Amino acid sequence: MEQVLFYLFSAVAILSGLMVIRAENPVHSVLFLILTFFNVSGLLLLLEVEFLAMVFLVVYVGAIAVLFLFVVMMLNIKIGKDNNDLLKYLPIGAIVGVIFLMEIFLITRKDYVALSTTDLGSTPLIEWGSLFNSLTNVEVLGQLMYTYYFYFFIVAGFILLVAMIGAIILTMQASANVRRQQIFQQVSRNMESAVFLVNDKNVN
C-alpha cells in the first residue's frame, strides 16, 4: 500500500509541477503549485517526517501560496499565450538543471560502497535498532527547542513581535477628520452627568 501511495503522490507531484510552468493562467499556476505542495507533504508523511509535512502545509500552502494567489488576483495579470519566452529561457534552465544534478551526484557519490571491493564478512555489524529513540521527530524537535534553544526561541518571538508592531505603526494613517473614542471620558462618567434634559429650542 505504501508503494502505491508513493507512486501516486510522486506522479501527481511531477505532473502538477510541470503544469505550474506550462499553465497560461497565473491563477491556475498557483493552484497547481498548491497541489504540488500537498503531494510533497504526502511523500513526507510516508517517510514519517511529520514535522516537515506540517510545515509544508502550514507555511507554504497556508501562507506563501495563498499570498501568491491573492497578489495575482489583485494585480489582474493578463493571460499570456506566447510561448516564445519559455523557449528563450529553456537553455538557461537546462544548464541550471544539469549543474544541480552534478552537485547532487558529487555530494552523494561518497556515500555508496562498492560491493566488489568490500568484504562484508569482516565488517562489524551495528544493531541500529537498539540505538534508535522511540520518540517521534516532533517530540525531539520540541525537546530541543524548549530546552537547549529556548533562548533563541524567545528572541525570535520578540523579533516577530517588534516586526508586527512596526508594520502596524507604518501602515496607520492619522487623519483629522476621523472621530475617535475618548475611552477615559466614557469610563469616568457618572449617572448625574450622563443623563440630563435638553431643551428642544437649543437643538439644531
Domain that holds residue 36: 2-80+134-202
Tell me what pLDDT residue 117 has.
54
Q: Does 127 fall in a domain? A: no
Q: Does 122 fall in a domain? A: no
pTM over 0.75: no
**Tens-digit pLDDT string for the chain (204 aa):** 888 889 999 999 999 988 988 887 888 888 898 899 899 999 988 888 888 888 888 888 888 887 777 777 777 666 555 555 667 777 888 898 899 888 888 877 665 555 555 555 566 666 666 666 677 777 888 888 888 888 998 999 899 899 888 878 877 766 667 677 777 777 777 777 666 666 666 555
CA dist., res. 69 & res. 26, Å (int): 8
Q: Does 146 fall in a domain? A: yes
Q: Does 105 fall in a domain? A: no
Q: Does 32 fall in a domain? A: yes
Structural domain count, the chain: 1
Q: Does 164 fall in a domain? A: yes
Tell me what pLDDT residue 162 has.
92
Here the CATH number for the domain that contains residue 64 is: 1.20.120.1200
Q: What separation in angstroms does the CA of 167 have from each of 163, 170, 172?
A: 6, 5, 9
Burial class of residue 39 (count of CB atoms within 10 Å of its CB; 0-12, 13-18, 19+)? buried
Tell me what pLDDT residue 198 has.
66
Q: Does 14 fall in a domain? A: yes
CA dist., res. 167 & res. 171, Å (int): 6
Instruction: Dig out the grid coordinates for 54 from the structure.
Output: 506540517
CA dist., res. 194 & res. 180, Å (int): 19
Q: Which residues contact 44 (CB under 8 A, 6 or more apart)?
A: 50, 52, 53, 56
pLDDT single digits (tens) 57-101? 888 888 888 777 777 777 766 655 555 566 777 788 889 889 988
Q: Does 113 fall in a domain? A: no
